[in-house]
Amino acid sequence: MVGSRAAYLAANNAWMSNARGNLVAYLVGTGARPTARNVSRQERRQVQRRFETWAARADFLGRTDFFGLQQQVANDLVVYGESLVLMHDEPEGLQLQVIAPDHLDASKTAQLGDGRMIVNGVEFDARGRRLGYWVLPDRPHSTFAEFAPAVRVDARDVCHIFHPIGSGQVRGLSWFAPAILPANELDQLTDALLVAAKLAAMHAAFVTDVNDTATDEHPLEDPVWEPGAITRLPFGTDVKFSSPDQVKEAPALVRMNLQALAAALGLPEHLVSGDLSNANYSSLRAGLMPFRARMEQVQYATLAPQFLRPVWERWLTREVLLGELDIPADTPADWIMPRPQQVDPLKDMEATEKALALGLTSRRQAVNEAGWLIDDLDEEILADREREAELGLSFTTSRGEPDAA
């Protein structure tokens, strides 16, 4: 029920739609990419090339690629509070299918004996570990849905992604849940203000008999309403225009409600309203820093262990078994998240340069934080310099010094 209301608001409410888009963009951007650890440079490059080739055809439905699927997962995570991904071992390789969370049969709850149980469509063993998921073939509200019982899918073939807000949580809760009522109230407020503005723009005239001396029963049957027009009123009459009262504090009231909506969503106000009129460098940075910290929590504590890592392990095991890669099947990977746009890129680059000079970070770590794979970047730099040398080109750095090429 909460997910359905959240989905409606995300599609029909301007502020909620903007918030949804910004949350998804900050969570996954153009998509996270893996870089294998504990292997040689040549092996790592081979793994990356194989992974990029697979990622292009990872979608079971053939509509997007692995990086586009990440956006679908993040969208469902924000709107419904959870996302479901089925992993299929097809002849052409591992393929991923993102399905709507309401495919998971929430009415399926039962005791199975020996301590096993099903809770809201999720099957557990006696120790509380997930054994399977009971998935409906059709969405309950689909136009062509037919009654069909839920089908059990082994937990090894399902990625169930949600950011828990309490221990023992079985299903996810929409991130929009705290904002549903504020968003509805704000909708009603803006509708009322709009109606008031429309009424204020309507000029209604009322002719009055000032001293009971008017004799014409219809003194102004055909008044002239045009610029510069002069209309003579009958003796003893006067005319008055309606002027509906306006809510004088309307802008402040709307902004206060927008701030409450942003707080409920955990977003800086400008990422909900799109209004930067009162923003400056300091306020933007102060607002974005805690928000980005929250997004990193979800990236590395939810998306990575619940989705990205299981997909990597499943894909790598298959590649090793087929003899495509000659590395251990349990080789771990670091996930490089796309770097969000910076408020002041120059200052961030100067801070990175200082950290490198003091030995407080490595170049690999700095490149990863920028959202790039260091092997890709180094190969591109080498190719650029070889091409420049071949063509006799020479460029300067930002400090005016000749480039090494």
161, 198: one domain: no
The domain boundary, picked from 206, 240, 273, lies at: 273
- Provide the residue range defining the domain that includes 253: 180-273
Among 189-193, 206-210, 243-247, 339-343, which stretch is predicted with the lowest mean pLDDT?
Answer: 243-247
Q: How far is CA 140 from the centre of its chain?
A: 25
pLDDT at position 223 is: 62
119, 153: one domain: yes
189, 91: one domain: no
Tell me if 80 sits within 8 A of 6, measured CB to CB.
Answer: yes
The domain boundary, picked from 273, 303, 335, lies at: 273
- Tell whether 325 is covered by a domain: no
Average pLDDT, the chain: 85
39, 126: one domain: yes
Q: How confident is the model at residue 148 (pLDDT cuts 50, 70, 90)?
A: confident
325-359 pLDDT, tens digit per residue, is 999 999 999 998 887 776 677 777 888 888 888 88
117, 262: one domain: no
105, 148: one domain: yes
Among 31-45, 187-201, 226-240, 284-298, which stretch is predicted with the lowest mean pLDDT?
Answer: 226-240
Phi and psi for 391 in degrees, rounded to 5?
Answer: -90, 0
153, 6: one domain: yes
Rounded-to-integer distance, Cα 254 and Cα 274, Å = 14
Report whether pLDDT(7) > 60.
yes
186, 237: one domain: yes
More confident residue, 173 or 251: 173
pLDDT at position 400 is: 45
- Tell whether 69 is covered by a domain: yes
132, 52: one domain: yes
93-115 pLDDT, tens digit per residue, is 999 999 999 999 998 999 988 88
The domain boundary, picked from 246, 273, 300, lies at: 273
Tokens of 371: 């959202």
pTM, full prediction = 0.80
Rounded-to-integer distance, Cα 67 and Cα 253, Å = 41
- Tell whether 369 is covered by a domain: no
16, 108: one domain: yes
- Count of domains observed in the chain: 2
- Tell whether 172 is covered by a domain: yes
Rounded-to-integer distance, Cα 358 and Cα 360, Å = 5
pLDDT at position 339 is: 79
